[in-house]
Amino acid sequence: MTRKKVLILCTGNSCRSIMAEALINHYLKDSWQAYSAGTNPSSVNPRAIQALQELGIDTGYLQSKGITEFLYMDDLDLVITVCDHAKQNCPLFPKAVKQIHISIEDPVLYTNAPDEEALASFRACRDDIKARVVDKL
């Protein structure tokens, strides 16, 4: 059976899209291969990694990547934008590919909060992605 391929897009590819990539690859590895990228990539947020590792999810391969790496992938089945900025700035893919938008709140907004509160926002984001993205594929 050939796995379908999905690209998750966000602005920084530091949290939401990274978590979606890891969650899909963990829970749906038999049917989906997930990738993630950012319209303006930065670096992976350590709290995103921590929230994933709490569920026993492999994070060793995760890194922030730019959208240009994936523009010419001709075997993508789906593109999901998880932030409004990425949706508005998503480039046109040369090959037509189905695109959907699922707005996920950015936990990075809580970066300066006390550690436990900040981590709680990353856990909530992770669980929201699992419920609204992973469980819907």
Tracing tokens 């900040």 back to the chain, one arrives at: 118
For residue range 3-50, list pLDDT tens digits in order. Answer: 999 999 999 999 999 999 999 999 999 999 999 999 999 999 999 999
* Helix, strand, coil tally for the chain in percent (to 5): 40, 15, 45
Instruction: Summarize pLDDT for 100-114 with one digit per residue, the tens.
Output: 999 999 998 888 889
Q: Looking at the DSSP assignment, which residues form a beta bridge with residue 52?
A: none
Amino acid, single-letter form, for residue 85: H
What does pLDDT average to over the chain?
93
State the pLDDT at residue 46: 94
> What pTM did the predictor assign?
0.95
Catalytic machinery residues: 10, 83, 90
